[in-house]
Structure 1
Amino acid sequence: MLKWKTHKFSTIANNVESLSDILAGSAGKNRVIKWIACDIDSDIYIRVYRDSEQFVDFECDLITAGAPLLPVEIPLGDGQLVKAGFYNEAAGSVTPSISIGYEET
């Protein structure tokens, strides 16, 4: 079953990366992140890390209304933590949001 989690960020200034803890691996639960959705903005990059390993660094304006979801395959083991957020390259002050779609068995 696909579950969704959404996080709205506070204002992110130019040349700043803002990350938030999004999802953690848990004993007895197999979690796999399958989809990422975010606001469509130029000069904003969505970034996703599992522990210290970066999985996603993707410019948000490449996500479109016709293809609003970014497919990924990020499994989470017990104790692993996913942080996700944005890097604002030059978009002025923005308040983006991110949605993570994951399966849990």
Structure 2
Amino acid sequence: MRTTPAHCLSAGHLMAQLQLAFGAITNRVARLEAKGWLTRDLDPNDRRSVLVTLIPAGYERALEVFSIKTDTEFSLLSSIPLDAQRRINDELRTVLIVLAGPA
């Protein structure tokens, strides 16, 4: 098993996790790298693979974005009763599973 530093994934793993095409990952990673939030390096264990690593500034920015997203979701959904939120979440999960197709 290979070990990688914290906040580090291969481009292929990002592609699979985010369910995006290679070009979409490449473009997003390039933009984030240009902003100084991550680095791209060849994987020392597999020179055909690229490792994407969040640097501290990128990790802090990710935390900010997730916090804003969470606060916004809470604000938007807080007027909906909790049991209705759970039903909506379950239905959306079903839609995503159907759209994803067989594993």
Task: State TM-score, norm by structure 2.
Answer: 0.22
Q: Which structure's residues are more often strand, by fraction?
A: 1
Question: Greater relative contact order (Cα 8 A, min sep 6): structure 1 or 2?
Answer: 1
Whose Rg is larger? 2
